[in-house]
Structure 1
Amino acid sequence: MKPSRLAAIALVVGGAAWIGSGVLGRDAATSRTANVETARTPAILPRFKVAALPVRTEMHQRRVVLQGRTEADKRVMAVARVSGVVLDLRVRRGSVVKAGDIVAVLSDEARESQVAQALARLEQRKAEAAARLRLIESGSYPAINKSALQAELRAAEAGLAQAQAEQKKGEITAPISGVVNEVPVEIGQALQVMMSGANVAEIIGLDPMLAVVEVAERQLAGVVVGGRAEVKLVTGERVAGRIRFVSKRASQGTRTYRVDVELPNADARIPDGVTAEVDLLLAPVPAARVPRSALTFSSEGRLGIRHVGADEKVVFTPVAIVEDVMQELWLSGLPDGARVIVQGQDFVKEGEAVEVLPAAAQG
């Protein structure tokens, strides 16, 4: 082969190699640039899926069930205010009496004679006053003594009234209407009156009857006078009543407050001192009903609910438990219409964007 032909072939091969090296270099550079751009662009991760349930805020009337007892509204002793022997005893245990009925009669102890004496003194004063007034009218007696005569007459009238009142004390009467629960005296027993009197009969007023419970201080805010209550007696009977009294002072031992529920008991069917289950209907408060499982804690340890905001991001709201009803809770503090996360709430955090799936409605 001629040298000139070999030189031409060498030039052709060299040119092709040069051109090829440029193309390969550009491809390698392009590949490296693409790899760098891919490394700089973050991967788009899928959002965490949660199940949410919309809840509504409404006025909810709370209920508090407490154990208590029945208690007579009134418990009074019929007492003797004067000394004497019991001559007549007109009641026994279980007797039904009305206010003013005679319970027992004591011996006279000269009280009747005192009345007779006071009556005689009054008649004497009346006769003296009549005679002296005639003398005053005739001018035979000083008119200045007229006021003294009137005063003596009024004093005699007062003495008679006092003697009659003292005689009346020999009849012991019932101070209230009710049932006689205890009679600690017998006929023929002598009663010696001390400062507080001598007990003759204990009378309890059964209408109305009270159901008494002790309410914890954290529940006291919803207990108001006039509020409704339902009482179940140990006998199985159910009675509706109303709150009549709420103590303003806590018990020193238990830090609870006494609450009296008034129950109608005209037929005296409810006895005093029986065990009762009292269901207090507290004042209504705004609250939302959510499943118990939705309750969670924030990273700071606060009790609350995670729900989804308008921007599909997780929001944590602290709440307070209004009422615990088995599988559900009534909570205060949630915004109306909040989409409460009921599944997955423990796997997301505040501010995180999530994908919301509908949850089964509450029953």
Structure 2
Amino acid sequence: MQHPVLLRLRRASSVLIALTLFVLLAIWLSSGTIQQASSVAPEKPDTIPVSLLRVETELFTAQPYQPVLVAQGQIQPFRSSQITSQINGTLRTLAVEQGSVASAGTLLIQLAEENRPDEVAKSEANLKLRESELASGQRLRRDNLLSETELLRLGAAAKTASAELAAARLELAHTRIEAPFSGIVDELPVEIGDHIQAGQMLMRMVDIDKLKLTAQIPQQQVADLTPGLDVTVTLLNGQQLSGKLTFIASLADSNTRSFRIEASIDNPDRLRVAGASATVSISLPRQQAHRISPALLALNNEGLPGLYAVDDEQRVRFMPLRLLSIDNEGAWAGGLPEELEVITLGAGFASEGEQVEAIRRSEESS
């Protein structure tokens, strides 16, 4: 029988050997797993698809557009003249009445001639005398019988007599007052027998066969104007007259920064509208433009008006435009491409340059 101590030693030795073998086996198995893990590539995680923002779009195509510039203006006679007397005298003949029509060159008023014809005759005789004296002096001078100074005096006397005759004839001519143009006698404050002073108003004549309209145009709109454009004038009663733009000021008003324009308006019926206000519509040159809803208009960071659209790569783009006109039904915009895919719904959720999923409306563009 073996000693108990030896038995315990043998048992402990067996346990130690078994434990050692277990550890070595675990290490071997572990090294194989590590080697396999290092030689096999890890699997890629599943790719998560990116969801694009959906926006609704509409294809807009440019259309011919006739822009019209509208402004408020004042109607004036085409011509207006305040006729005054050039001389003193008595009104002898009144050939027209207030409100009557007079043709250019016809007699309006005749002042008394008084002694003016005699003054003309006297001046004519004096001129003949002075011219005769000058002719004689020239002959004497050629024969050295007259000094140069005396000849000059005779020449001066002849010129003075000629000037006096011209003044006498003009004085006589001023007694006859004629119409400077065809028009209507609009004011006539004098009567036959009145003593007229030089510079006194005798009558006012106006020509309303044509009218002149003046208006102020803002500096932002004047660049599109050129003389010759068609204009339509709408009177307060709704009646319309047509004409042409004739003048655009080159200098803006220092207070309003606006430019004065003038238009010549046909008035075949001689409507009495001179001095009244009216609305003028100026037809600008035709151009291609887009008809859009004002709700689509937006401002970029620089404060410029425009539209949000998508390009060929389905990216959001801000397209600046020039607003031509706007009303309750829509707006006309210029400065855009011929065709444009405009974002009609969802533009507020997209950023410029962002790629989106554009869904075009089936309706035809307006």
TM superposition score normalised by structure 1: 0.76
What secondary structure, in the 3-state scheme, does the structure 1 residue paired with 2:221 have? helix
Call closer, same or farther: CA 1:212–1:300 in 2, change over 3 Å.
closer
Alignment correspondent of 2:246: 244
Within-5 A mapping of 1:161-240: 161-193=166-198, 197-240=199-242
Q: Distance in 2 between matches of 1:362 and 1:93?
A: 62
Within-5 A mapping of 1:280-359: 280-284=282-286, 287-298=289-300, 302-359=304-361
The one of 277, 282, 285 equivalent to 2:279 is 277
The one of 255, 258, 261 equivalent to 2:257 is 255
Alignment correspondent of 1:15: none
Q: Distance in 1 between matches of 2:76 and 2:256?
A: 20
Q: Once the 2 structures are TM-superposed, how far is the Cα of residue 43 of structure 1 from its aligned partner?
A: 4.0
- Is the 1:241–1:264 contact (alpha carbons within 8 Å) kept by the matching residues of 2? yes
Call closer, same or farther: CA 1:128–1:304 in 2, change over 3 Å.
closer
Q: Which runs of 5+ in 1 are unaligned?
A: 1-28
Alignment correspondent of 1:20: none
Alignment correspondent of 1:24: none
- Is the 2:59–2:339 contact (alpha carbons within 8 Å) kept by the matching residues of 1? yes
Alignment correspondent of 1:72: 77
What secondary structure, in the 3-state scheme, does the structure 2 residue paired with 1:316 have? strand
In the alignment, does 2:65 pair up with 1:63?
Answer: no
Q: Distance in 2 between matches of 1:187 and 1:294?
A: 72
Q: Distance in 1 between matches of 2:206 and 2:224?
A: 31
Call closer, same or farther: CA 1:219–1:148 in 2, change over 3 Å.
same
Q: Distance in 2 between matches of 1:301 and 1:156?
A: 77
Percent of aligned pairs sharing the same letter: 28
Q: Distance in 2 between matches of 1:303 and 1:235?
A: 37
For 1:158-215, what per-residue CA distance to the aligned partner results, in whole angstroms no more than 9, with x for missing partners? 543331221111122222221111112222222222xxx2211111122321122221
What secondary structure, in the 3-state scheme, does the structure 2 residue paired with 1:218 have? coil
Call closer, same or farther: CA 1:128–1:249 in 2, change over 3 Å.
closer
Within-5 A mapping of 1:72-221: 72-122=77-127, 124=129, 156-193=161-198, 197-221=199-223
- Is the 1:52–1:342 contact (alpha carbons within 8 Å) kept by the matching residues of 2? yes
Q: Once the 2 structures are TM-superposed, how far is the Cα of residue 263 of structure 1 from its aligned partner?
A: 1.0
Kindly tell me the number of residue pairs found equivalent between the two proteins.
323
Within-5 A mapping of 1:21-60: 37-38=45-46, 41-45=47-51, 47-57=52-62, 60=65
The letter for the 1-side match of 2:48 is P
Q: Distance in 2 between matches of 1:198 and 1:72?
A: 22
Q: Once the 2 structures are TM-superposed, how far is the Cα of residue 236 of structure 1 from its aligned partner?
A: 3.2
What secondary structure, in the 3-state scheme, does the structure 2 residue paired with 1:335 have? coil
Q: Which runs of 5+ in 2 are unaligned?
A: 1-36
Q: Distance in 2 between matches of 1:124 and 1:259?
A: 58
Q: Once the 2 structures are TM-superposed, how far is the Cα of residue 96 of structure 1 from its aligned partner?
A: 1.2
What secondary structure, in the 3-state scheme, does the structure 2 residue paired with 1:121 have? helix
Q: Once the 2 structures are TM-superposed, how far is the Cα of residue 156 of structure 1 from its aligned partner?
A: 4.4
- Is the 2:60–2:365 contact (alpha carbons within 8 Å) kept by the matching residues of 1? no
What secondary structure, in the 3-state scheme, does the structure 1 residue paired with 2:124 have? helix
What secondary structure, in the 3-state scheme, does the structure 2 residue paired with 1:293 have? helix
- Is the 1:68–1:212 contact (alpha carbons within 8 Å) kept by the matching residues of 2? yes
Q: Once the 2 structures are TM-superposed, how far is the Cα of residue 340 of structure 1 from its aligned partner?
A: 0.9
What secondary structure, in the 3-state scheme, does the structure 1 residue paired with 2:48 have? coil
Q: Distance in 2 between matches of 1:142 and 1:318?
A: 91
Alignment correspondent of 1:17: none
- Is the 2:120–2:168 contact (alpha carbons within 8 Å) kept by the matching residues of 1? yes
Q: Once the 2 structures are TM-superposed, how far is the Cα of residue 335 of structure 1 from its aligned partner?
A: 2.8
The letter for the 2-side match of 1:184 is P
What secondary structure, in the 3-state scheme, does the structure 2 residue paired with 1:186 have? coil
- Is the 1:231–1:278 contact (alpha carbons within 8 Å) kept by the matching residues of 2? yes
What secondary structure, in the 3-state scheme, does the structure 2 residue paired with 1:37 have? coil
Call closer, same or farther: CA 1:127–1:260 in 2, change over 3 Å.
closer
Call closer, same or farther: CA 1:147–1:304 in 2, change over 3 Å.
closer
- Is the 1:50–1:343 contact (alpha carbons within 8 Å) kept by the matching residues of 2? yes
Q: Distance in 2 between matches of 1:175 and 1:288?
A: 52
What secondary structure, in the 3-state scheme, does the structure 2 residue paired with 1:317 have? strand
For 1:15-48, what per-residue CA distance to the aligned partner results, in whole angstroms no more than 9, with x for missing partners? xxxxxxxxxxxxxx9xxx98x924xx32443x33
Call closer, same or farther: CA 1:354–1:224 in 2, change over 3 Å.
same
Question: Once structures 1 and 2 are overlaid, which stretch shifts more, 201-210 or 326-335?
Answer: 326-335
- Is the 1:75–1:205 contact (alpha carbons within 8 Å) kept by the matching residues of 2? yes
What secondary structure, in the 3-state scheme, does the structure 1 residue paired with 2:191 have? coil
Q: Which one has a bigger Cα radius of gyration?
A: 2
What secondary structure, in the 3-state scheme, does the structure 1 residue paired with 2:220 have? helix
